[in-house]
Amino acid sequence: MAITKRILIADADPEVHRLLLTVLEALGHRVDSVHGSPEALRAVASIHYDLVLADVSLGLLERLRELRPPVKVVVMTVESTPEAIVRSIRDQAFAYFSKPFAIRAVADMVGKALEGTPHEDDIQVVSASPTWLSFRVRCKMETAERIVQFLRELPTDLPPAERENIASAIREILVNAIEHGCDSDPEKRVRITYIRTQRAIIYHVGDPGSGFSFKDLSHAAVSNPVHAPFEHSEVRDRLGMRPGGFGILLARHMVDELIYNEAGNEAVLIKYLA
C-alpha cells in the first residue's frame, strides 16, 4: 500500500493552486495550499512536509533551507535566468520550472522527488558565469533528470520544440555517460558545461570512464547498416543488455553537431542560432 505524502504549495497565483491541487490530489497525495511567504513559513515550521512547491518570487527557498534543511523544494517562478537557476541549484532546489509550465511535467518531477534518495550535493556548481555554466553531477539517473530540467529552463531564444529536442539530446548523452562511463556508480560524477555564444549554444559532457570506440558499438543503433536499422537489438539480446541503444543516433538528429573526443568519454553538442 502506497504511503500518502504531504505536499505544500506556496504560490500567489490561484490558477497554479487549482491545477496542481487537481493533479496531485488525484495521485493520492495530501496537499496544503498557501498564497504568501508568512503562511508558508508558518506551515513548514509546524508540519513535516515531504515536498514544497514554492514560487521563489516569495523569497522562500533560502528561508525554507534555514527552517527545514532536509525538505525537498521544487521551484516555480516567472524568472528564468542563468543567475536564478544557479542560485536555485546552490540553495539545493530539487527542480526548477518557469511559468507557464506543463502541469504534467511538474507532477512527474514531484513523483521523482518523493521517490528519490537524498539529493544534497548531487549537483555541484563549478562555473556560474551566465554564458559559461559548469556542473559536476553525481552519477544517478534521478540526478540526470534533475540537471536536464535545470538546463531546459535556460534561455535559448529557440522555439519550444527545438528546446525540447536539445534537452532530449543532452539526456541521451548524459544517460550514456552515467551507465557506461560511470557504471552507474553514485560515487562518481559527470561534468556538464553550458556555453552560450552569439551564434551557438554548446553543451559539453565528460565522464570519468575509459571511453569507447565507435568500432565497438555493435550494440548501438548508430552502428546499424542502412538496410538493417534494428540489427543492434539482436546484439543487445545476446549480451543480456536492456532494450535501447538509440541514444547517440537520436542525439545526432536533435542537435546540429555531436562531436566526441578520441577516447570517447567526452562529447560536445552544438545548436546553431539563426
Q: Identify the CATH class of 1-118.
A: alpha beta
87 grid coordinates: 542560485
- DSSP letter at 222 equals G
H or E element at residue 170: helix 160-176
CB 258 within 8 A of CB 248: yes
Domain ranges for the chain: 1-118, 121-274
CA–CA gap between residue 152 and residue 163 (Å, rounded): 7
pLDDT digit string, tens, across residues 155-213: 888 998 999 999 999 999 999 999 889 999 999 999 999 999 999 999 999 999 998 75
- In total, the chain counts a number of residues equal to 274
| 60 within 8 A of 16, measured Cβ to Cβ | no
Neighbours of 152 (CB within 10 A): 21
pLDDT tens figures, 88-109: 999 899 999 998 899 899 999 9
Q: How many CA atoms lie within 13 A of 48 on its CB side?
A: 3
121-274 CATH choice from 3.30.465.10, 3.40.50.740, 3.30.565.10, 3.10.20.340? 3.30.565.10
